[in-house]
């Protein structure tokens, strides 16, 4: 698999600080990028912020500051949060940056020159918080069908993109590219939506109503609709205007991770925009579910928001990442409840993994003078363990590529439990008492090597704690990952140390 791996998160609105939903998508992208790197693939992970539009304008106004100040302040909050959550993005794009503004400008001009944009009369209903126009029949009880809030009646001249012209093309494209929209139930949802006639897309706002946005290059009385501006970030960052080679290698491999609430914008607006501009499509648009709290989507207005850093402070960043990745079946909604975080923490991390690290390093220190033992002739059980771990990376990668991430993690955890069982059965403490030191050495080497491999496969999810495991095992990862993923990397004679529990059983709930 030599194609580059290009993964994106949605770019987040800077009207408010990051919450669990944002943290979830960003950690997920980080983890998938981590697995791609482990497979030796060239990886580009993009995240950023969506800074124009009514929402940001209004948030700034409420605080008596300029939208740019609002954006600058919130960007820091996002960047700090990502740093604290150990996110390793390759690029952070802000839609107010010059490199992005010039892409929006270029694409609009191009579509205008090609006759893909026209001046028309917009009449309809507008939802300010969602920045979405709705037709009469979209409304639910006269309110916005997406958020249920009241809508405003609006009639004004505006620019339109001829989206309707691409309806049949889009249907055909989705049908002939089964991996384009995933999971398949979201794909069917989009195809269902496309059974109704598709309208044209209003892509401007008069400056007199909203002045926070990118000017329409051919009419400065208007700014660009925030979604038309925002979606283009995905091509800006890959060098669309300034690095053709990079663009053509990365762009067709794009995997857009999004929440299910922004499925239409990504799988209807975006593909038709690209098609009209003569550009190719991303590889996959993957919509994940929502984190639900007390039966409803977490949202600030419902005051049921979980602050990601609060939980990371209590359980540790890595444990928090592990929880989010293992507790959601990608695509489906998941109920967030802190008891589940605590249960998983105790069973998977404190018990299965943490305990193994502690016990094993302790035994190596006691029975092998604190250095990695030299294995001798393996038994059937040793060979079985080796065989399992030799095949493990491939099995995990296949699940991750199929975006069955929680199953991939479950497989690694089952393998960790397998190491515990292996140690129980071999009982090195009895072998030691019997004076069978060759067996002690062989068993502890096999267990430690298996633990090293399990840790490497958990590294994308828990980068810091896994590095600590390597350190305790006396292993320095270097060289290509393919080599690191092969059995037999621990060097006999390296210093092994026991440290404080990696995932302490006692949790300080006051740490949030
Ligand atoms: N700015 C747009 C995206 C433009 S992308 C070209 C936007 N921003 S957002 O900040 O409102 O939301 C970003 C993401 O957070 C969405 O994918 C949304 O699904 C996700 N989440 C917000 N709340 C969520 C949960 N409660 N659970 C999981 N993710 C949710 O939309």
pLDDT digits (tens, 9 = 90+) for 259-294: 999 999 999 999 999 999 999 999 999 999 888 877
Cβ within 8 Å of residue 180, ≥6 positions away:
173, 174, 187, 267, 281, 283, 284, 285
- Cα gap 329→483, rounded to integer Å: 31
If one residue of 224, 229, 262 were mutated to test the ligand 1 pocket, choosing by the most ligand atoms within 8 A of its CB, it would be 262
Q: Could you tell me the distance, in angstroms and rounded to a whole number, from the CA of residue 500 to the centre of ligand 1?
A: 38
pLDDT in tens, 376-415: 999 999 999 999 999 999 999 999 999 999 999 999 999 9
Residue pair 203/228 in contact (Cβ under 8 Å)? The answer is yes
Q: Could you tell me the distance, in angstroms and rounded to a whole number, from the CA of residue 478 to the centre of ligand 1?
A: 37
- For the CA atoms of 466, 320, 354, 458, the dihedral, rounded to the nearest 10 degrees, stands at -40
Residue pair 503/350 in contact (Cβ under 8 Å)? The answer is yes
Six token digits for residue 433: 């008492």
Residue pair 512/310 in contact (Cβ under 8 Å)? The answer is yes
Q: Could you tell me the distance, in angstroms and rounded to a whole number, from the CA of residue 427 to the centre of ligand 1?
A: 50
pLDDT of residue 1: 58
Please work out whether the CB of residue 262 comes within 6 Å of at least one atom of ligand 1.
yes
Q: Which of 93, 99, 132 is nearest to 227 (CA)?
A: 132
pLDDT of residue 304: 64
Please work out whether the CB of residue 445 comes within 6 Å of at least one atom of ligand 1.
no
pLDDT of residue 302: 62
- Cα gap 259→210, rounded to integer Å: 27
**Any idea how long the chain is?**
512
- Name which residue sits closest to atom 25 of ligand 1, judged by CA: 21
- Name which residue sits closest to atom 21 of ligand 1, judged by CA: 21
pLDDT of residue 138: 84
pLDDT in tens, 119-153: 999 888 888 887 777 878 889 999 998 889 999 99
Tell me what percent of the residues of the chain surpass a pLDDT of 90: 82
Please work out whether the CB of residue 312 comes within 6 Å of at least one atom of ligand 1.
no
Angle at 167 between CA 165 and CA 170, to 5 degrees: 120
pLDDT in tens, 371-384: 999 999 999 999 99
* Below-50 pLDDT ranges, the chain: none
Please work out whether the CB of residue 82 comes within 6 Å of at least one atom of ligand 1.
no
Q: Could you tell me the distance, in angstroms and rounded to a whole number, from the CA of residue 400 to the centre of ligand 1?
A: 22
Please work out whether the CB of residue 59 comes within 6 Å of at least one atom of ligand 1.
no
Six token digits for residue 72: 């600058």
Tell me what percent of the residues of the chain surpass a pLDDT of 70: 98
- Cα gap 225→287, rounded to integer Å: 23
- Cα gap 301→278, rounded to integer Å: 40
Please work out whether the CB of residue 282 comes within 6 Å of at least one atom of ligand 1.
no
Q: Tokens 């300034």 label which residue?
A: 242
- Name which residue sits closest to atom 22 of ligand 1, judged by CA: 21
pLDDT of residue 329: 77
To the nearest 10 degrees (0 to 180), the angle between helices 317-327 and 463-473 is 120
pLDDT in tens, 198-214: 999 999 999 988 999 99
- Cα gap 166→186, rounded to integer Å: 20
From the number of C-beta atoms within 10 Å of its C-beta (0-12, 13-18, 19+), residue 508 rates as exposed
Residue pair 47/9 in contact (Cβ under 8 Å)? The answer is yes
Please work out whether the CB of residue 48 comes within 6 Å of at least one atom of ligand 1.
no
Q: Could you tell me the distance, in angstroms and rounded to a whole number, from the CA of residue 94 to the centre of ligand 1?
A: 16
Q: Taking the CA atoms of the chain, what radius of gyration do you get in angstroms?
A: 26
- Is pTM beyond 0.75? Reply is yes
Q: Which of 312, 309, 304, 313 is nearest to 336 (CA)?
A: 304
């Amino acid at each position: 698999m030599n194609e580059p791996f290009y993964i994106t998160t949605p770019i987040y609105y800077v009207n408010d600080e990051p919450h669990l939903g944002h943290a979830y998508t960003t950690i997920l992208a980080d983890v998938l990028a981590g697995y791609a790197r482990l497979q030796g693939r060239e990886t580009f992970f993009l995240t950023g912020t969506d800074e124009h539009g009514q929402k940001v304008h209004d948030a700034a106004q409420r605080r008596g500051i300029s939208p740019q100040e609002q954006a600058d302040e919130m960007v820091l909050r996002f960047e700090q949060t990502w740093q604290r959550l150990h996110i390793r993005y390759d690029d952070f794009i802000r839609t107010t940056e010059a490199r992005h503004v010039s892409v929006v400008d270029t694409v609009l001009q191009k579509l205008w020159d090609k006759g893909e944009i026209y001046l028309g009369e917009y009449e309809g209903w507008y939802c300010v918080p969602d920045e979405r126009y709705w037709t009469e029949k979209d409304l639910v009880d006269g309110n916005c069908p997406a958020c249920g809030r009241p809508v405003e009646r609006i009639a004004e001249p505006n620019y339109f993109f001829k989206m309707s012209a691409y309806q049949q093309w889009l249907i055909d494209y989705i049908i002939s590219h089964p991996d384009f929209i995933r999971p398949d139930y979201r794909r069917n949802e989009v195809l269902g939506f496309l059974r109704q006639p598709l309208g044209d897309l209003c892509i401007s706002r008069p400056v007199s109503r909203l002045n926070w946005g990118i000017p329409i290059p051919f009419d400065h009385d208007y700014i660009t609709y925030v979604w038309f501006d925002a979606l283009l970030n995905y091509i800006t960052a890959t060098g669309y205007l300034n690095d053709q080679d990079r663009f053509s290698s990365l762009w067709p491999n794009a995997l857009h991770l999004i929440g299910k609430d922004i499925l239409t914008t990504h799988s209807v607006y975006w593909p038709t925009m690209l098609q009209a501009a003569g550009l190719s499509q991303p590889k996959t648009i993957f919509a994940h579910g929502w984190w639900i709290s007390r039966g409803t989507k977490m949202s600030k207005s419902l005051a049921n928001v979980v602050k990601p850093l609060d939980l990371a402070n209590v359980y540790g960043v890595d444990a928090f990442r592990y929880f989010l990745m293992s507790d959601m079946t990608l695509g489906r909604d998941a109920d967030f409840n802190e008891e589940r975080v605590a249960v998983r923490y105790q069973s998977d991390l404190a018990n299965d993994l943490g305990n193994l690290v502690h016990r094993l390093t302790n035994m190596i220190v006691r029975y092998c003078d604190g250095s990695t033992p030299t294995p001798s002739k393996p038994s059937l059980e040793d060979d079985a363990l080796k065989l399992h771990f030799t095949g493990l990376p491939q099995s995990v990668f296949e699940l991750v590529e199929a975006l069955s991430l929680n199953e991939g993690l479950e497989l690694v955890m089952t393998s960790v439990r397998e190491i515990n069982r292996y140690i129980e059965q071999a009982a090195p403490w009895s072998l030691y008492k019997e004076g069978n030191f060759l067996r002690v050495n062989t068993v502890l080497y096999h267990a430690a090597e298996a633990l090293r491999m399990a840790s490497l496969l958990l590294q994308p999810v828990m980068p810091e704690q896994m590095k600590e495991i390597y350190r305790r095992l006396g292993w320095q990862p270097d060289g290509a990952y393919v080599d690191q993923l092969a059995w037999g990397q621990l060097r006999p004679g390296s210093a092994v140390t026991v440290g404080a529990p990696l995932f302490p059983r006692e949790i300080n709930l006051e740490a949030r």
